[in-house]
Amino acid sequence: MPKTVDHQHRRETIARALWRVVDGRGVAHATMRVVAHEAGISLGQLQHYFASRAAMLSFAMDFAAEQRAARVQRGLAALGEHPHPRDVLRLMLTEMLPVHPDARATSRMSTAYVLEALHDKELHARARDGLRQARTAVEDLVRQAVADGHIAADRDPATETDLLLALTGLTTLLELDVVGPAAARAAIDSHLARLFTPPS
Amino acid sequence: MPKTVDHQHRRETIARALWRVVDGRGVAHATMRVVAHEAGISLGQLQHYFASRAAMLSFAMDFAAEQRAARVQRGLAALGEHPHPRDVLRLMLTEMLPVHPDARATSRMSTAYVLEALHDKELHARARDGLRQARTAVEDLVRQAVADGHIAADRDPATETDLLLALTGLTTLLELDVVGPAAARAAIDSHLARLFTPPS
C-alpha cells in the first residue's frame, strides 16, 4: 500500500476507535490515551497521526460527515436517475438521526463535537462552517424544488431550510426512548408531505 | 430563615453555580470540586447538600426545568386569561431555545444532561421521564386544540407533538451561529401558523 493511502487508512481506523469511545462511554472519556488503547496502538503512534486531541476530534467529525454523505449517496443510487427532491431530503434527514448503529455513531460524534465546540473557538469555527455548508446544500435543493414546482412558490426557502434542519431535534427524543424510529420517520414523512405540493 | 428553606436555597445556589460552569466551560469541567469553588463553598459543604455528582446534576437539571416553566408561566400571565394554544406553544418552544442568557443556561444544562444520560442508566431514566412528561403536556394541548377546532381534525396529534418538540433542533443552528434568534423565531412562527387553522 502506498504510504499516503496507509496514512489515511490509519487515521480512519483511529477515527472509528474515537467514535466507539464517544458512542459507548462519552466524549469526556475520549482522551488521546483511551483512543490509542481502543485503536490498539501506542500513544506515541497516535500522536504521529494527530498532534492534539482537537485535531483528532476534528478529523473524526469530518470523517463522520463523509461517512454520512456516503450512506446518502448509496441511498440515492437506489432511487434511480432523477430522484424526487422529497426523497433526497428524506434520505439526508434520516441518515442524520440515530435510527441504525452507523447513524447513531456519527450522530453521537456530531453532538459531542458541537458540545466541545461551545467552549473552543477553533472547533466552533469548523463546526459552524460545516453546518453552514450543509444548510446551503439543503437551501439550494429547496430553491430548485420551488423553481421546478415541487414546492409552492409562496414558501420561504430560508425558513423551510431551517425547519428541515430543525428536524434533527428528533435525535434527543430517539436517544431518550421517548419516540421510536417508526414515529421519527412518520414525523419526517408528515413534514415532507406538507412541504411538497401533491403530484399533479 | 427556617432550615428547610435555607437548605433548598443553598441547593439552588449550587445548581446555578453548576449552570455557570456548564455554560462557560462545559459539563466535562463540572466536577464537585469546581462547582464548590464556583459556588464559593468548600467541597465538604457541597457534599453535605449532594452526595454525588449525579445527584447534583439531576437537581440542577430539575431546577433548570422549573425555571423554564416559571418563565413560561410569566409569559402566559402577560397573554391574559384565555391564551390561544398557538401562543402557549410559541412561549414553550421559545423558552427551550438559547435565544436569551437564562434560556441559554438552561438549554446548555439540558443538552449536557442528555449527553451524560447516554452513558448512565439512572440519569437516562430521569431524563426520559422528564421528556415524556413534557411530551404528554404538549400532546394534551394539541388534542385539546383539535377538539376546540384550532387545529384541523385530520392532523395526527402524536405526530404533530413530535414535530413541535423536534423544533428544539434549532438549538444547534443557534449555538453554532448558523441562524440568529430572529430566523429561529420566524421558523417557529411559520410552523405554528401552518399547524393552526386560520382564525375564522
Supply the DSSP symbol for B167.
Answer: G
pLDDT at B23 over 70: yes
Cβ atoms of B67 and B107 closer than 8 Å: no
Q: Is the pLDDT of residue B1 over 80?
A: no
From residue A167, give the alpha-carbon distance in Å to each of A162, B119, B138, B169, B197. Answer: 9, 24, 17, 6, 22
Q: Tell if the CB–CB gap between A162 and B170 is shorter than 8 Å.
A: yes
User: What pLDDT shows up at residue A155?
Assistant: 95
Contacts of A148 (CB under 8 A, 6+ apart): A85
- Give residue A133's pLDDT band: very low, low, confident or very high (50, 70, 90): very high
Q: How far apart are CA A153 and CA B28, in angstroms?
A: 47
pLDDT band, very low/low/confident/very high, at B2 (cuts 50, 70, 90): low
How far B4 CA sits from the closest chain A CA (Å)? 33
Residue B43, burial from CB neighbour count under 10 angstroms (0-12, 13-18, 19+): middle
B32, part of any domain:
no
Report the residue of chain A nearest B109, measured CA to CA: A115
Q: Which residue in chain B has the smallest CA separation from A160?
A: B187
Asked if residue B80 is part of any domain, the answer here is yes
What per-residue confidence (pLDDT) applies to A123? Answer: 92
For B29, nearest residue in chain A (alpha carbons): A28
Residue A40 in domain: no
Higher pLDDT, A4 or A7: A7
pLDDT at residue A26 in the model: 86
> What value of ipTM does the predicted structure carry?
0.91
Q: What is the mean pLDDT of chain B?
A: 92
Domain that holds residue A141: 53-195
The amino acid that residue B149 corresponds to is G
Is there a domain that residue B29 lies in? Answer: no
- Judge whether B146 lies within some domain: yes
Q: What is the pLDDT of residue B27?
A: 85
Put simply, the answer to whether A178 touches B132 (Cβ < 8 Å) is: yes
Q: How far is the alpha carbon of A109 from chain B, nearest alpha carbon, in Å?
A: 11
Domain assignment present for residue B33? The answer is no
pLDDT > 70? residue A150: yes
Q: Give the mean pLDDT of B135-158.
A: 96
Residue A17 has pLDDT above 60, yes or no: yes
**DSSP secondary structure letter of residue B196:** B
Q: What is the mean pLDDT of chain A?
A: 92
Report the percent of chain B where pLDDT is more than 90. 81
Q: Distance between CA atoms of B157 and B49, rounded to whole angstroms?
A: 42
The pLDDT, as a whole number, for residue B26 is 85
Q: Which of B167, B171, B178 sits opposite A128 (nearest CB)?
A: B178
What was the pLDDT predicted at A1?
55
Whether the predicted pLDDT of A49 surpasses 90: yes
Residue pointed to by grid coordinates 431551517: A162
pLDDT tens readout for residues A162-197: 999 999 999 999 999 999 999 999 999 999 999 998
Give the per-residue pLDDT at A125. Answer: 95
In chain B, the residue whose alpha carbon lies closest to the alpha carbon of A184 is B162
A14 min Cα distance to partner chain B (Å)? 21
Contact A11, A59 (CB under 8 A): yes
- Residue A73 inside a domain? The answer is yes
Above 60 in pLDDT, residue B72?
A: yes
Q: Write the pLDDT tens digit of every residue in A84-98.
A: 999 999 999 999 999
The pLDDT score that the predictor gives to residue B144 is 97
Is residue B87, in this structure, part of any structural domain at all? yes
Region B150-177 average pLDDT: 96
Pick from B119, B162, B187: which is nearest to A26 by CB?
B119
Label residue A121 exposed, middle or buried (CB < 10 Å: 0-12, 13-18, 19+): exposed
pLDDT score for B94:
94
Domain count, chain A: 1
Compare CB distances from B166 to A158, A159, A166 and report the shortest one's residue. Answer: A166
Q: For A67-77, write each residue's pLDDT tens digit.
A: 999 999 999 99
Tell me what pLDDT residue A2 has: 64
The CATH number that applies at residue B105 is: 1.10.357.10
The percentage of residues in chain A with a pLDDT greater than 70, rounded to a whole number, is 96
What pLDDT, on a 0 to 100 scale, did the predictor assign at position B162? Answer: 98
pLDDT for the residue numbered A19: 92
Predicted local confidence at residue A5, as pLDDT: 65
Which whole number is the average pLDDT over A34-58?
Answer: 95
